[in-house]
A and B are shown apart, each in its own frame.
Chain A
């Protein structure tokens, strides 16, 4: 399949999933008890202006599918609605916070990739008690929820030792990195443990392959064989897991941001849910799902570069 045809087909599938999820997110309003208007305005009641604003925003006077189409049209034009609680456009609320979440997820992704691959490779190649120790640590890491890690990190490194700030996302640059170190660690522990497991299994399997024997019998340096033949071939499962992991980190950030009181999308979402700020809830969930789906699609695309045997589009 040509690259263009592949991208077209892939984009088509992506659009379909996004259309369905947007429909579900829109439909949520009608799953809620009571009329949409009463639900959105909630116990706050609402002034006539607010009622008019909500009616216009959700096109409540139109038939259902027209409403959905109009709502979707608004979103595509970048109009994500208006927050009743913040009295602000949702799009500006989100754009002010997306940077923090992005920084947090990126830092966590780097930590996961580096620690997971290094620990897994180390365990597989060294064997013996180093392997035992790594595997046990990974099993415990995998069983530890991010918020427990977060609380533990705060009590040790922020409250106890005072090395890091307890809360907040800093003022940018290096300060942000310092502020995000503990949150990123908390977010990455379980995923790093999982990646370490996958890497270990994959490296063990690849080291036993026949082509590695060929490389050995040709007298190539052991370090080169590990890098060029074992790790390079292990990349296929590693990238799969890493991609899936980064996608779930976007959701995991919701929890971690609340532990560290970071001003990101996750804390915005939880606050919006508790305050019944429905336009914000819809918009943030839509952003999370879009990010999740897009990251997964990118990973699928990357496959074709990692494994030349996989033709474009041959795996879904």
Chain B
């Protein structure tokens, strides 16, 4: 007869194998056709943004005042803006900020959110009640308001809005993760580890965290799309990234003035790039979310 602990160990191993089997599958398999296309497009944009100094044909800040608001030409593939800066180069540099800002927002929110959620799920009782209530209060305020509040206190800048939005996204991550962690906590492999004398912190990080990881990632990617939109909106309002830095939200803003004078290229190009980025991120996020659900 097998002892209870080996049975529990087998359960624990099965839980972990179930997870690694998911990761062994190819990316295409996990993302589907549309998801793979989205991932491909996003990869190209990210690479271009990372290697902006090499890829961009011009210095994004160099003003060629003689050639301002010129249409697409072999020299400037997408033309120039009101100050004569090359729009394509500014798009590539702008994508950097437009991706890095929200990336930072989600990174901060995810780390704090996951820690809060795991703590609440492990301790339960009063700690859980307090944390849940706190998250509910954060939920009671629309996300962009946090960005506005932060700017009101510390003044307009990218760092300010990133901090503000990061707080806004904590409850979105924490709620989902807390639910998943509570479910995992009731799994037999957790009691098995408990019986073997592992500490609560140990179990949380070595057993529960790896098992809720797909949900964490899916939620982070899905939130990223919204963060891109909100951060770009704050930049558009003049509360986030400040000129002359190239940023897609700011480019829509400065392009907007040119639209009124009959030159829509800059606004269209920057707006379209935001839409493409958000679409790619959302598609991947949706796919990861349904994968994470079906793995349960």
Contact = CB atoms under 8 A, between A and B. Distances in A.
Answer whether A and B touch in the complex at a CB cut-off of 8 Å.
yes
A159 B260 contact: yes
Interface in B240-255: 249, 252, 255
Interface in A10-47: 17, 20-21, 28, 31-33
Contact of A148 (B136, B142, B252, B279): B252
A296 B140 CA distance: 9
A250 B283 CA distance: 27
Interface string A261-305: 000000001101110101001000100110011001000000000
Given A28-B149, A32-B153, A139-B283, A146 B140 contact: no
23 contacts: A32-B154, A142-B282, A144-B274, A144-B275, A145-B229, A145-B233, A145-B275, A151-B256, A151-B271, A155-B264, A159-B260, A159-B262, A166-B260, A247-B142, A254-B144, A254-B237, A255-B233, A259-B256, A270-B239, A285-B152, A289-B140, A289-B141, A296-B140
B145 interface: yes
A285 B148 contact: yes
Contacts, number: 120
B256 to A, nearest CB: 5
A143 interface: yes
A292 B225 CA distance: 22
Interface in B206-254: 225, 229, 232-233, 236-239, 249, 252
A154 interface: yes
B75 interface: no
Contacts of A33: 154
Interface string A84-112: 00000000000000000000000000000
A148 B275 contact: yes
Contacts of B249: 147
Contact of A154 (B136, B142, B259, B279): B259
Given A28-B153, A33-B154, A285-B148, A292 B283 contact: no
B278 A143 contact: yes
Interface residues of B, number: 41
Given A28-B152, A143-B282, A146-B233, 15 more contacts: A32-B153, A139-B282, A145-B229, A147-B233, A147-B249, A151-B259, A155-B259, A155-B268, A159-B259, A159-B260, A166-B260, A251-B143, A255-B237, A276-B152, A289-B145
B142 A250 contact: yes
B105 interface: no
Contacts of B256: 151, 154, 259
- Chain A: number of interface residues, binned into ranges: 35 or more
Nearest to B271: A148
B137 interface: yes
Contacts of B282: 139, 142-143
B239 A292 contact: no
B141 A273 contact: no
Interface in B252-288: 252, 255-256, 259-260, 262, 264, 267-268, 271, 274-276, 278-279, 282-283
A274 B275 contact: no
Given A148-B252, A148-B275, A281-B152, A155 B267 contact: yes
A258 B237 contact: yes
A293 B140 contact: yes
A152 B256 CA distance: 9
A2 B136 CA distance: 25
Contacts of A292: 140-142
A28 B145 CA distance: 13
B190 interface: no
B171 interface: no
A301 B35 CA distance: 39
Contacts of A32: 153-154
Contacts of A176: none
Nearest to A156: B264
A248 interface: yes
A140 interface: yes
Contacts of B136: 17
A274 B156 contact: yes
Contacts of A147: 232-233, 236, 249, 252
A166 B262 CA distance: 13
A277 to B, nearest CB: 9
Nearest to B256: A151
Contact of B236 (A152, A255, A274): A255
Contacts of B233: 145-147, 255
B91 interface: no
Contacts of A258: 236-237
Contacts of A248: 142
B148 A254 contact: yes
Interface in A173-194: 190
A259 B278 CA distance: 20
B225 A143 contact: yes
A288 B144 CA distance: 11
Interface string A131-147: 00000000110111111
A165 B274 CA distance: 26
A143 B275 contact: yes
Contact of B137 (A21, A159, A247): A21
Contacts of B229: 145, 190
Contacts of B154: 32-33
Contacts of A159: 259-260, 262
Interface centre among A142, A148, A285 (most CB of B within 10 A): A148
Interface string A152-166: 101100010000001
